[in-house]
Amino acid sequence: MSVISVPQDFNEEDLYVDVEPVFGRSLLLKCEGFNFAGSIKLKAAAEMVASAERGGLLKADSVLVESSSGNLGVALSMIAASKGYRFICVTDSRCNLTTRLLMEALGSEVRCVAGEQSNGGLLGARLDYVRSLCAADDRCVWLSQYSNPANWRAHYLTTAPEIARSFPDLDVLFVGAGTTGTLMGCARYFRDLRRPVRIVAVDTAGSVAFGGTAGRRMIPGLGMSMRPPLLDESYVDEVVRVEEADTIRACRRLAGRGFLFGGSTGTVVSGAVDWLDRRGARDLTAVAVAPDLGERYLDTVYQDNWVRDLYGRGPLDTARPVPAAPGAPAA
């Protein structure tokens, strides 16, 4: 029995989904969406708030301020509510309605910026707005998930050790790249552990986190319009980039088997399966971090009209036949 008094005290640590019946490749997903915030961002949010409290930055009248496209905003909303802080989330048009309503239901204020910064896109505009809030009110405390070492430290202390305990012979770990907090925390942990684990970062096409040209990104979660300050590429063995159409295909194939995952998870799965396909790898122990569940994507990734309007009909086709489930009748 688990009895908790604050929502951030619960997180499912040891749940994995085997997606080989869906994609034909041996890959286990570490499911991070089973907590009261609904995503892996709870870990980073909890560690950043705790670190700010330990450092004396947060006081009773402090106002938490953060830029988020969605999941971190929900996690901070939940923690702020449980601790009695006021929280302002600065977001943009990619943040879906369900996520905004969740934050408001938890008592947070949601400010949605409309414009883009010429060299920083929507994220640049959000950060400018956050800076203006902090300049106008000295009670504001900006946790800055993009540069706060507590972001990656959360996963060094939790996510990576959880994986290491379950998979002592792990060969390859796939981690999505947004702020790169999860990526860097896991990569640093396995480097320090001196295990020969290959770290593969999965980024979304149009992101410039690892260089390249910025492009349209409509699915919130992974990807950055600037180089993440937390990123140290010396810890990363490979980078895989995934088109958003392939993210949608992966999400929908999983949903076809009853697993409703979010866009970030779809991106990581698509990148991981592609990497395994290209190597014909069948004897590797491969794990991917699945950051979120799919309920917050019902009006985007899982909405046919939204998909058709932005990507055409292609992503509505799962592209490859899904292997029959064990015991299922032949087609």
pLDDT of residue 276: 96
From the list 130, 172, 163, 284, the residue with the least C-alpha distance to 122 is 130
Distance CA 75, CA 173 (A): 25
Phi/psi class of residue 121: alpha, beta or left (left: φ > 0; alpha: ψ in -120 to 50)? left
pTM for the model stands at: 0.92
User: What distance in Å separates the CA atoms of residue 308 and residue 310, rounded to the nearest whole number?
Assistant: 6
Q: Among 3.40.50.1100, 1.10.275.10, 3.40.50.12240, 3.40.50.11030, name the CATH number for the domain at 7-34+150-305.
A: 3.40.50.1100
pLDDT for 220 equals 87
Q: Which fold has domain 41-142?
A: Rossmann fold (3.40.50)
pLDDT at 283: 87
Q: Whole-angstrom Cα distance, residue 53 to residue 51?
A: 5
Residues 15-28 pLDDT 10s: 999 999 999 999 99
Q: What integer pLDDT is reported at residue 323 of this predicted model? A: 47
Domains 7-34+150-305 and 41-142 share a fold: yes
The ranges assigned to domains in the chain are 7-34+150-305, 41-142
Give dist(CA 110, CA 87) in Å, integer: 9
Separation in Å, CA 45 to CA 7, 48, 64, 162, 328: 12, 5, 11, 18, 42
Question: What confidence tens digit (pLDDT) does each residue in 58-76 have?
Answer: 999 999 999 998 899 999 9
Element (H, E) at 112: strand 109-112
Q: What pLDDT is attached to residue 325?
A: 46
Point out the residues of the chain with pLDDT beneath 70.
Answer: 115-120, 281, 318-331
pLDDT confidence of residue 124? 86
34-73 per-residue burial string, b: 16 or more CB within 10 A, e: under 16: ebbbbbbbbbbbbbbbebbeeeeebeeebbbbbbbbbbbb
